[in-house]
Each structure stands twice: as structure tokens, then as C-alpha cells.
Chains A and B, each alone.
Chain A
Amino acid sequence: MVDLARDREEVVCLSGDLTRQCEVDLFEDAIPERFIDVGMAEAHMISMAGGLARRGHIPFVHSFGVFATRRCFDQIVNSVAYPNLPVRIVGFMPGVSSPGGPSHQAIEDVAIMRAIPNMTVIDVADAVEIRQVVPQIVDLPGPVYLRLKRGEIPVIFDEGHTMSLTNAQVLTTGKDVALIANGMMLASALAAAEVLDGAGVSVAVVNAPVVKPFDTRTIVDVAEGSSAVVTAENHTIIGGLGSAVAETLAEAGLARPLRRVGLRDTFAEGSKTAPYLFRKYGLSTQDVVAAAWSALGRTDAAPPTAELQLDPGEYAPV
């Protein structure tokens, strides 16, 4: 973003008292004249960003996903989305990636942002996509909600990968199960596909970072070529990626068994570590494997997922 902002005078960076936590302290150091710490005042921050956007600026607004969407929903609707202004809302700590308890866990942000007209909603999967998404969204018309993880970020794609705002990407081909995932669950989906492959089940893994506007064509194409469909998202199964896929299949008249991996209409809890929460609330690789197994109508035990050996600091799906 600093690289982008050096070339683009319109870019301004707003933070709601979470500057280091949202990793925009680098911006503050590099371009202090275009960095504004608004303090703990999310409602004001969003409406002010709307005012700045009306005068030609491109505000990137940073907070945790919970505060950036829940505390200022009406402001996002009336001050930003209805006037269709280019405000980029970056919500950190998606889903249960935060062990901070329900107050800090954005589990319905995608659902409520997706319901707002004009809003683009993106949940990226890895470090390569994060680097590409900022320059890609800067000139997108209208508002954007971008979900970002902080801290260790999975590296899934090689440097040759191109993030797409228009197409969901089919990463592996298979005819048994279409496994559609985004954000932190893409790494789990890929791990689950390997386990399933080892059990003789071929899996088409689809990366769908853009939940709105949704690439329904790719979803329908892949689902048509599969016996069953599984979605995986670090979010409630109500209103997010799983819902978008369900709506797409239903409108296409495509009957496929569907399983949605995600939080099952429940708040999570505070914990010491996030992996504990991913396991407890059904967001582990094993849960994805089990969902695929169930979608295929298999009644025998699903194949087990091996424990991963990791280097310190390396991100691992649970």
C-alpha cells in the first residue's frame, strides 16, 4: 500500500486506534501527511472517509473486522455504499483467527457486507494475493470490504499467481467433489483435497476470494462436473460463501448434495490459541474431509488427516 500511495496522491490511510495491529504503521512512518488516526470512533471514521471520497480521495480504512462492520453498519450503508464511494474498508482478524472471544471475532462480516448494494466483498487466501489485491482494488468503482488476516499468513501460491477479481480459480481438477473455499479455509481445502485424493476421491478445489460480485459461472461449471459440492469459510455458514454457492446452485437448477463448512449459527469463545477454535467449531481440515465424505453419501469413516510438521512462524491450516 505504501508503494501504491507513493504514486497515488489520492490514497489516504485511516486507522481506528489499531495502527500497529492492522499493520499500517509502515504507512504512518512513510507518508505521515496522508495518515489519519481517527481514534476509537468507527462511525465517525466511516462517514468521514465518505466525505474524503466525495472530494476525490481514496480512503483505506483500517480496523478489526468486528469494529469495521458492526459498529458502523448504518454509516457504511448511508455514508459510503448508497453514494457508491470508493472507500476501502479493511477488516482484520477474520472469523476465529482471533482468540479474543466473540467481541473480537468477525463471524458475520461477510454476510452483512454482502447484503449491501454496491459493495464488493473479498476474502483473500494468502500472502501473494494480499500483495496483489491492494493495487487491484484501488480503482474499483464503489466501496470494497477486504478481509485480511494479520500475523502469519499462508503462502499458497507461487509468485507467478495472478489474483483475479472477476474469476474464481479452479486450482485442482476432479470429478467427485467440488470444494469451494476462500480466505483462511483455502489452505485447509487444499490439505483436505490431498487427503481425499489419497482415499480415491478426486477433488476440484476452487479459490473464490471475491464473494461479491460472485463468479457464478465458474461455480456452476465446476459443480456440473462434480457429484457433490462442499464450501469452506472462516465465517458463519449463514450469508457468506456457502450461502452464495447455495443460491447459485439453486438458481441454476443444479441438484448436488451440498455441505457448508463454517460456524454453525453459533458464537465462538475466547481461547489461548486460534487452532483450538478452528477444531472446536468445525473449521479444521478434518471437518472439510468429513463434509466431503458426507456429501458423497459415504457412511464409512472419513479418511484421517495427518498432523502437519511445521517450521516455527509458518502458517498451518488446522
Chain B
Amino acid sequence: MRDARAVSSVELRRFADEIRLRAVRMVAPHGFGYLGQALSSAELFATLYLTEYRPGVDQLVVSPGHYIVAAFAAAAGTGQLDEELLLTYGHDGSALEAIGTERSPAVDLTAGSLGQGLSGGVGFAVSNRLKKNRDGRVFVVLSDGELEEGQVWEAAMFAGHHRLDRLVVLLDANDSQVDGPVSSITTLEPVAAKWAAFGWDAFDVDGHDVDALSEALAAALDTPEPSIVIARTSTRRGLTVLPPDADGHFIKLPAELADAAVAALEVRLA
């Protein structure tokens, strides 16, 4: 019983690049920021926003508040958020704070303290069950570094036990955290097998392949268990102008690099 909107791969890829362009423009005035998160998750947000996610009917949790830049960019792309407002991102007094807060528009829940979003999403899914609402789905965006937090696994165990089938995790596995590559700090693999062992259906895909993402998301919504789409991604994706050693968690973006990034994306979108 899918009611996904019919959308072409070309449209999805274009929407992803629009997310990248908006994120560059939001981060550029500060000279640095959470751009890597938007670059790695652009296709994931594009696929979610243009296919399955129904604002107001489904709930969207962006667990790591550092990814809110991507949610803002995607929400502006679908008209949920004023394009002009994006330019206030991260500035003093703006409701669009750089790390998601209670004031952040466009999402149902986000948190700057990592590892708590899945529990909140589980709360939404349990609420739907208590209210006998079979229509609503809950989408929770997680990052791979966040899987180091034990609370994620408490929530995963609970959701598996209660078979919260309308709950879908979208994991941006970009192998990036503050101190470096996640894989150099903690071995998370086998990620899919871990979630499967907790009673989840896991779909492990190339997170920049919009067709693979669309199929996985559709399949994830069609199982009797909670599901996870593991999107393998890169924090430099889509911007070859970035230096190879760019810090994925907090990218330095001086004016000339920002201009080059904007130019490259505008050419692609032209």
C-alpha cells in the first residue's frame, strides 16, 4: 500500500544537488560549518522528501542536530520553508540555528546531543499504535558515528521487540565523526547484521544512488519489522573542488572555495 509519488531519477539527482547548493550558501557566510553532512546525505534527503515523506502525516526525526542544514535545504526545496529564511542560518538571533534545537522548523524532532532521536521516534511510533493510527510512518535520520551511543541500541532493541513496522531509520553512513573516520575509532561493521540481530530488516545501499535508495525505502516500508536503510556515503560527494583532506564533520569553506563550489553546482544544475 505504497502511495509514493512518481518521480524520476533525474529529478531526484537534481533535488540532491539543490540541497548541496543551498547548504553551501548557508554555510559560506560563516567560512566553515556542517557542510559535509549535507553533501553526504543529499540523495538520502532528496529521496525521502520527493518519494515517501508526507509532512503532517508522517513524523520526521533528524537525530543528529548537525544534519539540520540538510533538512532545511530539503524543506526549502519543497516549499515548506521560506528560501529567504535559509540565509539567516547560523546567524545571531536566527530560528535556524546551526545545530538543531527546539526552535528548528521543518522537523518533528532533532537534538544536538546525539543518540536520542531514535528513542523519540520510537515514542512517535508507539503513540501511533496507542491511537490506532496505521497510516502514519516515522522516519528517523541517524548518522553512523552516532551508533557509538548505547542509547541507540536500547531503542533498537525496544523497536525490534515491539515490531514497530512503521518505523524506518535512514542511516547516513559517511564514515565521519569529529575525531576522524568512524572506522578508525570504533568498528561498527557489520552494521546491517547488527540491526538484523536486533530484529530489524536492513537494506544496505550506495547512498548516492537515488534508484537504490528509492527501492530500499519502498522495501523498508513494506516489511512487518522496523527497517533501516544504510546509505553508504561520502562527505565530499558532489563537490570535487573540496580538498581531499576536508574535515567531513566541520568543513572549512573560505570565500573563494565557496564561490568555486557554487559555480560548480550552478553549472551542473543549469
Contact = CB atoms under 8 A, between A and B. Distances in A.
A51 interface: yes
Interface stretch (B73-81, B108-116, B210-218, B246-254): B108-116
Interface string B109-132: 101110110011111101110110
A38 B127 contact: no
Nearest to B155: A44
Contacts of A12: 130
Given A39-B158, A47-B151, A79 B116 contact: yes
Interface in A27-46: 33-34, 36, 38-39, 41, 43-46
Contacts, number: 85
A105 interface: no
A41 B126 CA distance: 16
A48 B120 contact: yes
Contact of B121 (A36, A51, A56, A74): A51
How large, as a class, is the contact surface on chain B? 20 to 34
B133 to A, nearest CB: 10
Describe A's contact surface by its main secondary structure: helix
B55 interface: no
Contact of A78 (B116, B124, B157): B116
B130 A34 contact: yes
A75 interface: yes
A36 B159 CA distance: 12
B51 to A, nearest CB: 24
Interface residues of A, number: 29
A57 B133 CA distance: 14
Nearest to B65: A78
A47 B116 contact: yes
B124 A44 contact: no
Contacts of A45: 119
Nearest to A50: B120
Interface in A56-86: 56-57, 74-75, 77-79, 82-83
Contacts of B82: none
A41 to B, nearest CB: 4
Contacts of A75: 116, 119, 151
Residue among A49, A55, A75, A77 with max Cβ neighbours from chain B (10 Å): A55
Contacts of B112: 78
B127 A51 contact: yes
B123 A51 contact: yes
29 contacts: A12-B130, A33-B130, A34-B130, A36-B126, A41-B158, A43-B115, A43-B119, A44-B119, A44-B151, A45-B119, A46-B119, A47-B116, A47-B119, A48-B122, A48-B123, A48-B158, A51-B120, A51-B124, A51-B127, A53-B123, A55-B127, A55-B128, A55-B131, A56-B127, A57-B130, A74-B113, A74-B116, A77-B113, A78-B111
